[in-house]
Structure 1
Amino acid sequence: MPRVVPPVADERTALTAYLAHQRRALRVTAYGLTEEQARLPASASSLSIGGLIKHAARCEGFWVDLILRRQCGTQREADQSGADASGADEFHLAPGETLAGALDAYAAAAERTDMVISGVPDLGQAVPVPPGAPWIPAEVEEWSVRWVLLHLIEETARHGGHADVIRESIDGATFDPLLAAAEAWPDPWVRPWEPASPGADRQYVPND
């Protein structure tokens, strides 16, 4: 796969292609991680790669529900409703959850997003604002599907940056070597990442 987004012909293709590219960048940070490593925080923050992927999947589900007008309450309430009995929230893998499961859920969320967006005739279509959300200006009553896609790109890129830092702190791996290894680039111009031990997991699955 190309290192960058290929040429785009129109706005819809541009937005969905850049969202797919940012998803790909987030997913590849998990390539080669063990279950233990997927849960490792890298700083004073408790964020982990597995938790970020889990959150990204739920985030897309939340916004697509809004496009479909199926979501009630605020995103914060949706986050809290996702907490399990152990107290783990959507930024953390619960004891019974796995990195592979989080990656599968993210792939399913991405497929659903793409399907819904493909069926929207006008990116200017109104999307209702979640009621009572404190981070929304009081005078704003609706967004557009276009705004939602831009927000998802921003959200995914922000968390992809978090995941990049976490992954580099775990084993020094960075984006290009990981992607070259995960996607088996022919004649790569960077040296593909290799696991420090032969038993390392390789759970990344491309999702474009």
Structure 2
Amino acid sequence: MIEPNPKADLRRYLQDAREALLWKLEGLSEYDVRRPLTPTGTNLLGMVKHCAGVELGYFGDTFGRPFFSEEPPSWWYTEDADPNADMWATADESREEIVALYRRAWEHSDRTIETLALDAVGHVPWWPEERRETTLHHLLVRVIADASRHAGHADIVRELIDGAVGWVNGNDSIPPGDQAYWETHRSRLERVAREAGNA
């Protein structure tokens, strides 16, 4: 009989989302990793930067384990920061710097996850006073949902950039087909959408 290990299960899904998000940067130019492809500016490197900040906040500050020993960076979640500063990289912030920060965030988060029990209580400083108290379990679920959501955004953004698709390296999770197949498939969906719109 397999012994249940909820913490290991949660940690595995978190790591899957982390790695999927970083994989979407591979092989792209500096321009393409920063390129805003939605009206609100969604871009690949910005999502990595955001997810690093989310982990450092929820698995660091919330449990009295701050990552920044001195002043946090200018884009950190403070009242003075630009509301979207965590969702894009400045020209001075290199891809290597942001990816390294995300990987260090994983290490910091993983130490918190390994050290504390799932029912350990933390206090989220930026939540309303009446809801600040929460558990590691709750925050793990929340961060997995956030990272997975952004990994899904990254899937779409990457496909818009160069057509690359897939959940993880070596597993594209879609039916096989060459470019002609997908063009035919997309044309069929467009036709069906127009027919339904005119019905």
1:53–1:103: 8 Å Cα contact kept in structure 2?
A: yes
Amino acid in structure 2 at the alignment position of 1:142? E
> For residue 20 of structure 2, what is the aligned residue in structure 1?
25
Partner Cα distance (2:49, 2:12) in 1: 21
Shift of 1:143: 0.7
Shift of 1:129: 3.2
Partner Cα distance (1:155, 1:82) in 2: 24
Partner Cα distance (2:80, 2:176) in 1: 40
Q: CA deviation digits over 1:129-151, x for unaligned, max 9? A: 325x3xx5x64241100011111
Identity %: 27
Q: Does 1:49 align with 2:44?
A: yes
Partner Cα distance (1:99, 1:129) in 2: 29
2:60–2:108: 8 Å Cα contact kept in structure 1?
A: no
Partner Cα distance (2:80, 2:108) in 1: 19
Larger proportion of helix: 2
Secondary structure, counterpart of 2:77 in structure 1? helix
2:62–2:124: 8 Å Cα contact kept in structure 1?
A: no
> For residue 108 of structure 2, what is the aligned residue in structure 1?
112
Gaps of 5+ in 1: 1-6, 72-76, 182-188, 192-208
Gap change, CA 1:50 and 1:18, over 3 Å in 2? same
Amino acid in structure 2 at the alignment position of 1:97? E
Higher RCO structure (Cα 8 Å, ≥6 apart):
1
**Equivalenced residues, count:** 165
Question: Which sits farther off after the overlay, 106-115 or 88-97?
Answer: 88-97
Q: CA deviation digits over 1:84-129, x for unaligned, max 9? A: 8xx9711111111112221111111001111121111x21011113
Secondary structure, counterpart of 2:87 in structure 1? coil
Partner Cα distance (1:47, 1:145) in 2: 29
TM-score when normalising by structure 2: 0.73
Shift of 1:83: 4.6
1:124–1:146: 8 Å Cα contact kept in structure 2?
A: yes
Gap change, CA 1:8 and 1:170, over 3 Å in 2? farther
Secondary structure, counterpart of 1:173 in structure 2? coil
Gap change, CA 1:23 and 1:97, over 3 Å in 2? same
Q: CA deviation digits over 1:50-100, x for unaligned, max 9? A: 1110111111001122343256xxxxx94246858xx97111111111122
Q: Does 1:13 align with 2:13?
A: no
> For residue 170 of structure 2, what is the aligned residue in structure 1?
180
TM-score when normalising by structure 1: 0.70
RMSD of the TM alignment (CA)?
Answer: 2.9
- Map 1:15-164 to 2 at 5 A: 15-69=10-64, 78-80=76-78, 83=81, 89-120=85-116, 122-131=117-126, 133=127, 139-164=130-155
Partner Cα distance (1:82, 1:89) in 2: 10
Partner Cα distance (1:21, 1:148) in 2: 17
